[in-house]
Amino acid sequence: MCWSCYKPAKSCFCDDLKPFETTTRFVLLMHPKEAKKNKTGTGRISQICLKNSELLVGVDFSENRRFNELINDERFLPFVLYPGESSYRVDYKEIPSKFSENIQNGKKRPLVFILDGTWPCAKKMMLVNTKLHGLPRLSFSSSPGLRSKFTIKHQPSPVCLSTIESIFYFLKAWRKGGYPEISSNSDDSVLLDGLAGIVNFQIKCALDPHLKSYRKGRYKTQDEKRDSIKWDKRKLFFEKENFQSL
């Protein structure tokens, strides 16, 4: 067992990843159900790729000592990467000046909380973690034709990405918005390499008739999959103004 990615040694590819530094501090809030997905979860691989990051497991972090240390640390300016009606698109420079000026002049370092779980789990985490409600939300605009390459998972909507992809595209949009970041596009590519490692290994297992994970049909691309019917009638993201039920 590899105690970095929590995968069996035979499926571990940590040595192939080249972790990189970022100006932004990333904190992954991982749902317990996601923590059990050692084979297909992207949260742990994200944390391995990002030197300036850490991972906390739970649902409600209100009483979590480390979470409260981070959110109250005067060195940081905390945000939450979460789409919705009230989010600021970083590539469009929508972050209000009262926040962005502190980042641009180096007075505060950006700290970005990321919810790592299925979309329903992430929605529940946003609901119960009221301290996240008061943080400015960040998002990025989706380019035409952008689809998740996490083909072994069915996303509820074409706009939905895996955790590791969200970080990759956030960093790309962050630099486009002119915010200071020491990582480069070539550094960020290790995130997609990590995703490819997860997907390729799972597909390899699915093609092996001697394994329990064997499946006769191939995995469909995101374009080939049908949009989830139930999400047409449910709010995909948590918004205090229109939230009704999970």
> Higher confidence at residue 146 or residue 96?
96
As a whole number, mean pLDDT of residues 156-182 equals 93
* Band of residue 230 on the pLDDT scale cut at 50, 70, 90: low
Q: Cα separation of 150 and 21, whole Å?
A: 24
As a whole number, mean pLDDT of residues 125-148 equals 91
Is residue 39 scored above 90 in pLDDT? Answer: no
Closest CA to 119 of 33, 8, 213: 33
Is residue 32 scored above 90 in pLDDT? Answer: yes
Is residue 40 scored above 50 in pLDDT? Answer: yes
Q: How far is CA 167 from CA 47, 117, 183, 224, in A?
A: 10, 14, 12, 24
pLDDT given at position 232: 59
User: How do residues 53-95 score in pLDDT, each as one tens digit?
Assistant: 999 999 999 999 999 999 999 999 999 999 988 899 999 999 9
Is residue 183 scored above 70 in pLDDT? Answer: yes
Q: Which of 66-80, 135-149, 199-213 has maximum average pLDDT?
A: 66-80
**Cβ burial, residue 232 (10 Å; 0-12/13-18/19+):** exposed
Task: Dig out the tokens for 239 from the structure.
Answer: 């918004």
Task: Compute, in degrees rounded to 10, the torsion defined by CA atoms 220, 221, 227, 228.
Answer: 60
pLDDT given at position 197: 93
For the beta carbon of residue 177, count every other beta carbon within 10 angstroms. 19
As a whole number, mean pLDDT of residues 180-194 equals 96
Is residue 52 scored above 90 in pLDDT? Answer: yes
As a whole number, mean pLDDT of residues 35-59 equals 92
Is residue 98 scored above 90 in pLDDT? Answer: yes
